[in-house]
Amino acid sequence: MCLTTFVAMLENEEVLNAYLEKTCDAENELLKRVHRETYLKETMPHMLSGHFQGRVLSMLAKLVQPKLMLEIGTFTGYATLCLAEGLSSDGLLHTIDVNEEQQERVQGYFDASPYGEQIKYHIGPAAEIIPTIEGIFDLVFIDADKKNNLQYFEMLIDRVRSGGILLVDNVLWKGKVLSDNPDSQTKRVLELNDTLAKDTRVEKLILPIRDGLFVLRKK
C-alpha cells in the first residue's frame, strides 16, 4: 500500500467515523469524562476505544447479556464501562491491566458508574491472573499486548460457553495487514488473523470498525 493511498484512507475514515458517531446513541457523561481525561493525561490516548466502538461493544454485550465477562487490557476503562452496560443483573466483569499508575483514577471511574460493584479490576500479567478467575465466560474482549493475543485466545477458548463471544481488537492494524512488506508487529497480527480464520471451533468475521474487531462465536 503506498503512502498516498494510506493517507487517503485515513482521511475518509475520519469523515466516516464522524458520521457514525452522529447516528448512534450519545456517550453518557461518565464516558465523556473518561474520553476527555484520557486525551488530557495519557501519552497514547488513541488506545481508547472511543464513542462508536464503545457503542458496538455495548450492543454486543447487551445481545449476550453475560453473567461472566472478561476483558484483557483495561487502559482507562472506557471499553470496560461500555461492556458493563450489557451485564445481567447478577453479572460480573473481570478486567485486567498491567499499569499500576492508572489504577486509582480508573477505579474511580468504575466507582462512579452504576456497575461499580460488578466490575473486578485486576492489576498484573494477564497470563498469571486468568487462571485465578473461576467460571465459564459468556463474553471475552481481548485488547492488550498484540504479541500475546494468540496465547490469550488459546488460554480462553475452552473457558467460553457454547454460543459465547470472543472479541479481539486491532486486527486490521491501521491497514498494515494489507502491506506487501509487513513489519514484525504486523506479522504477529497476520499470524493471529490467519490462525483464527482457520479455527473450526468458532464462527468468525472481522468488523472493519476503527482498527478492526474480530468477532468470534464459540460453536
Residue-wise pLDDT tens digits, 119-163:
999 999 999 999 999 999 999 999 998 889 999 999 999 999 999
How far is it, in rounded angstroms, from Cα 163 to Cα 219?
6
Q: Structural domains in the chain? A: 3-218 (3.40.50.150)
Cell of 192: 493471529
State the pLDDT at residue 145. 86
pLDDT tens column, 193-205: 999 999 999 999 9
- What's the pLDDT score for residue 9? 55
How do the residues of the chain divide into helix, strand and coil, expressed in percent and rounded to 5? 55, 20, 25
Residue 18 confidence (pLDDT):
87
Q: DSSP letters of 37-66?
A: HHHHH-S-GGGS--HHHHHHHHHHHHHH--
pLDDT of residue 210: 86
Distance from CA of residue 161 to its chain's centroid? 19
Q: How many CB atoms lie within 10 A of CB 124?
A: 12
Instruction: Please name the residues in contact with 103: beta carbons below 8 A apart, sequence gap of 6 or more.
Output: 121, 123
pLDDT less than 50: residues of the chain: 6
